[in-house]
A and B are shown apart, each in its own frame.
Chain A
């Protein structure tokens, strides 16, 4: 079946394209412009008037919880949540059980995804065996097994020497390195941003310096090894400043921002709501302003969800005891559209699309994130003006751990197409 998407605003930042037009999909691939004038007989038409037609969105920071934690999320349910959020490609983190530190686990994830996931699922592999930060995982074998990056996400390699070797080794096999930036000594048992609210509530503080110290470490190692390190879920003002200065010197370092770190501040914890407990923690107003500044000037060029599902019974415990993290795939686009494009006017729509498509695709070195003819027809249709209310109960995810239940948002994906096939439609 072939498809013609008519009259949409086609935004394809990789090809510097932003125009009203039609997009033809033939045999699951983006067809040549000229073919539009001679469409074949068997064709499905989609009216995209007043909609954005853009490359399928990419989220390079997602926890799908399989193997090992299928009660929180499965590859199938996580992929459905991604499709409902407008994502056609998601990158899953290795903190599963067993950890994704061996080619066999990577093969299992890929097989399972091919069998059951409605979007493209790209696995990452561990930096260290068992994510323990002590010995290197078989990074070369992981590369051959098809991982798109290595990371110990959820944990952070503390030993700078081991991290240096990991970066050098990853360079040899051509994989970027993603890092969850957290200095364990500085952070200790911190559960919330160290500041006014941690002082008032007596909750153990997680200081910004605990992130900034590792971002700085990564700048030094990226420079030393001349290889790319991507700093995950940047939350602190100082981290943005460190990234900006390093990028100006040409260091191969990048950072991503998650919606919750700009939608909320640490006052969200004042009633001990465990759905406001994430790692790194929600921070202060000044940090949010710095993140917006980093997005505006391009220091931060990638957006991600850090989709981290946990079951209700796991989150419904004492604040200290609750696991970190929230689900995010279905609210991510709406929150960023609402906050970055509509409310704060931090960036325009084409920039937002760029941050969700070509930028992560370049970092991952994958053939996605563009509408170039011949590429797989991964396409997202977005209504940027649609006002809607997020209902956690209606979520595609197996988990409901979100602080955004009932939030009114402006802008939403209305159709998600993977390889020419509609996998989700509002």
Chain B
């Protein structure tokens, strides 16, 4: 691994579907490209002409505000023309298939389609059928590659390197695309990963992916360089994955008391939206170790890099 990468590789992909198919070199290349775009956001004129004349469609079949907004701002800063389509406003509600809706977008000369969808594999399904670039903005519980990339960017910025770090991901892993993309990315860049959460949401099967699984958060926290907390979704509780929020906090919540176990320089991350006081204590979310807002800002740079790279490949 050459990290931080100074490789002179040439980007070859028209689509970003997931982290799993990327090489470590490609990941580092995106992060380095993002570094170049980061500075744009600090200028008074926050705009570069990289995608001028290109049309980007934010196609969000599953609702999202923060990811859609981030992609939209990233695209605008690259001078692309942006259209937003949500499930409610698309013909999918009239029974049109995903393939037909996407073909219509392509026929309207969409150069890039950013897809958020509740079904795993939906971005790949489109990528196999369209010449437009497909950027996965989250598909079911499968992948959320730009979230993992911005997490890595943030870690690398704060820690210098990813290799050798111990990253602990806490919460609902089973249903989390953020967890999967992070696991793939962190392992490729040489980090050690431990998953923590209730056994119903962190099945042992994950060990086969090359990570450690623990059900005892207090044993894991002292060695962590980064803790990444995932949102606990209340609908999971209704499906009997765990007995209740109170018990979740008692067993797995990052409380002030527990945070004392952390190294002083351990980063606290969260992809948002946060349930304050559930997976993460409210003061810790705003505290010195928290890099949650940096993640958001870095997300813009990373998404600019991804749109720039893939948009340069599309026909």
| A contact residues vs B (CB 8 Å cutoff) | 195-196, 199-204, 271-272, 313, 316-321
Docked CA distance A320–B62 (Å): 14
B303 within 8 A of A: no
Residues of A within 8 A of B125 (CB): 272, 317-319
Total interface residues on B, CB under 8 Å, equals 24
Q: Is there an interface contact between B120 and A319, defined as CB atoms closer than 8 Å?
A: yes
- Asked if residues A319 and B119 are in contact (CB atoms below 8 Å), the reply is yes
Cα A203 to Cα B124 in complex, Å, equals 14
Q: Is the CB of A271 within 8 A of B99?
A: no
The answer on a CB contact under 8 Å between B208 and A272 is no
Q: Are B142 and A317 in contact (CB under 8 A)?
A: no
B222 in the interface (beta carbon within 8 A): no
> Is B177's CB within 8 Å of the partner chain A?
yes
B91-146 contacts to A (CB < 8 Å) = 97-99, 117-122, 124-125, 140-143
Which one of B124, B180, B206 contacts A271 once the chains associate, using CB atoms below 8 Å?
B124
Known: A202-B120, A271-B124, A272-B125. A320 touches B140 (CB 8 A): yes
The reply to whether B205 and A203 contact each other, CB–CB distance below 8 Å, is: no
Q: What residue in chain A is nearest B177 (Cβ atoms)?
A: A202
Cβ contact of B98, chosen from A201, A202, A318, cutoff 8 A: A318
Least CB distance from B40 to A in Å reads 33
On chain B, the residues within 8 Å of A201 by CB distance are 120-121, 142
* Min C-beta distance of B211 to chain A, whole Å: 11
Query: B121: which of A199, A272, A313 is its contact (CB, 8 Å)?
Result: A272
Contacts of B190 in A (CB 8 A): none
Asked whether any CB of chain A lies closer than 8 Å to the CB of B312, the reply is no
Check if B205 sits within 8 Å of A318, measured CB to CB: no
Interface pair A317/B180, CB less than 8 Å apart:
no
Set A202, A204, A320: member contacting B180, Cβ < 8 A: A202
B141–A202 CB distance below 8 A: yes
Task: Identify 14 residue pairs between A and B in the complex whose beta-carbon atoms are under 8 Å apart, listed by A's number.
Answer: A196-B208, A199-B206, A199-B209, A200-B20, A202-B141, A203-B120, A203-B121, A316-B97, A317-B97, A319-B122, A320-B118, A320-B120, A320-B140, A321-B119
Interface status of B203 (Cβ within 8 A of chain A): yes
Contact B140–A317 (Cβ < 8 Å): no
Question: With contacts A199-B209, A272-B125, A318-B121 known, is A313 near B203, CB below 8 A?
Answer: no
Interface centre among A271, A317, A319 (most CB of B within 10 A): A319
Contacts of B203 in A (CB 8 A): 199
Distance to closest chain A CB from B117 (angstroms): 7
In the complex, the chain B residue whose C-beta lies closest to that of A195 is B205
- Which residues of the other chain, A, contact B175 by a CB distance below 8 angstroms? 202
In the complex, the answer to whether B140 meets A272 with C-beta atoms within 8 Å is: no
Question: Which among A199, A202, A203, A313 has the highest number of chain B CB atoms within 10 Å?
Answer: A202
- CB-defined contacts of A203 to chain B, threshold 8 Å: 120-121, 140-142
**How far is it, in angstroms, between the C-alpha of A319 and the C-alpha of B123 when the chains are bound?**
11
Determine if B140 and A202 form an interchain contact, defined as CB atoms under 8 angstroms apart. yes
Q: Is A199's CB under 8 angstroms from B120's CB?
A: no
Would A199 and B208 be within 8 Å (CB), given that A271-B124, A272-B120, A318-B98 are in contact?
yes
How far apart sit A134 and B205, CA to CA, in the bound complex (Å)? 37
- Look across to chain B and name the residue whose beta carbon is closest to the beta carbon of A200: B209
Give B142's nearest chain A residue, CB to CB: A202
Is the beta-carbon distance between A319 and B121 smaller than 8 angstroms?
A: yes
Once the chains are docked, how many angstroms separate the CA of A320 from the CA of B209?
A: 23
Distance between A290 CB and nearest chain B CB, rounded to angstroms: 19
| Cβ proximity bits B195-222 to A, threshold 8 Å, 1 near / 0 not | 0000000010110110000000000000
CB of B177 within 8 A of CB of A313, answer no
- A189 → chain B, closest Cβ, in Å? 10
CB closest residue in chain A, given B100 = A313
Q: How far is the CA of A313 from the CA of B141 in the complex (A)?
A: 25
Instruction: Find the B residue at minimum CB distance from A202.
Output: B141
B99 touching A317, Cβ below 8 Å = yes
Nearest B residue to A192 via CB reads B120
Q: How far apart are the CA atoms of A204 and B98 in the complex, in Å? A: 20
Pairs of residues from A and B, 5 with the lowest C-beta to C-beta distance, nearest first: A272-B121, A202-B141, A318-B119, A202-B142, A320-B119
Chain B 17-34, CB-CB to A under 8 Å as 1, else 0, gives 000100000000000000
**Which residues does chain B contribute within 8 Å of A195, judged by CB atoms?**
205
Give the residues in chain B near A199, CB-CB below 8 Å. Answer: 203, 205-206, 208-209
Complex: A250 Cα to B156 Cα, angstroms: 66
Residues in B with CB closer than 8 Å to A272 are 120-121, 124-125
